[in-house]
Amino acid sequence: MAPLTPGSDFPQGVTFTYIAPTGSLDLTACGLPIQYDASKEFQTGKTVLVAVPGAFTPTCQEKHITSYLASLEQLRAKGVARVIFIASNDAFVMSAWGKANGVKDESILFMSDPKAQFSHSIGWANDDRTGRYAIVVDNGKVVYAAADTVRGSIDNSGAAGVLAKL
């Protein structure tokens, strides 16, 4: 287990699973989870990776994702190429959560950290669920990594906290 610190390289071999958005919110197609090579993709551009304990759960739904939905333009203005939400929920649930929040394109990607494996590897997970944290990776380098451990707080991992550090 190695905590991420600003200045260090984003670890190798990190993959998530997700269902690619189809540009629609309807249910006439079933998603097929595919693997996402995070370590490879994060080598280029600026990434904001946000972990939440659970899709559809209270704080995550009411505050966390809403903060990012409201701040997408500001994030883009600061050069963020991709915003990815992860949780230990499987790719099907994450895909549905994205659609439930009206996201049908790649503006925010919803992915699964199966068994919270990656989150455990950086010390920010509790049993089956990931912790609540945000990491900013700039061309492969970690430039921000902070977790929120106070119940209900998104000070460090919400959009405002991340924007302040970009």
Partner 1 sequence: MGGSGESVQHITSPSDFDSLLSSTRYVVADFYADWCGPCRMIAPFYSQMASNLSIPGFLAFAKVNVDSVGALAARYGVSAMPTFMFFKDGKQVAVNGNRIIQGADKVSLEQAVAKMARLAREKADAAANETA
Binding site for partner 1 (CB under 8 A): 19-20, 22, 24, 26-32, 34
- Asked if 123 and 5 count as a contact pair (C-beta separation under 8 A), the reply is no
How far is it, in rounded angstroms, from Cα 40 to Cα 7? 18
Q: Give the nearer residue to partner 1 in terms of CB position, either 25 or 70.
A: 25
Shortest Å distance, C-beta 114 to partner 1: 17
- Asked if 68 and 159 count as a contact pair (C-beta separation under 8 A), the reply is yes
* Catalytic member of 60, 87, 109, 146: 60
Q: Is 60 a catalytic residue?
A: yes
Strand order in the sheet with 141-148: 34-37, 15-18, 109-112, 80-87, 46-51, 132-138, 141-148
Shortest Å distance, C-beta 38 to partner 1: 17
User: How would you classify the pairing of strands 80-87 and 109-112?
Assistant: parallel
Q: Give the nearer residue to partner 1 in terms of CB position, either 69 or 93.
A: 93
- Which pair of structure tokens corresponds to residue 161? 């906290």
Any bridge partners for residue 147, and if so which? Answer: 133
Q: Give the nearer residue to partner 1 in terms of CB position, either 22 or 66.
A: 22
Shortest Å distance, C-beta 22 to partner 1: 5
Residues that are catalytic: 60
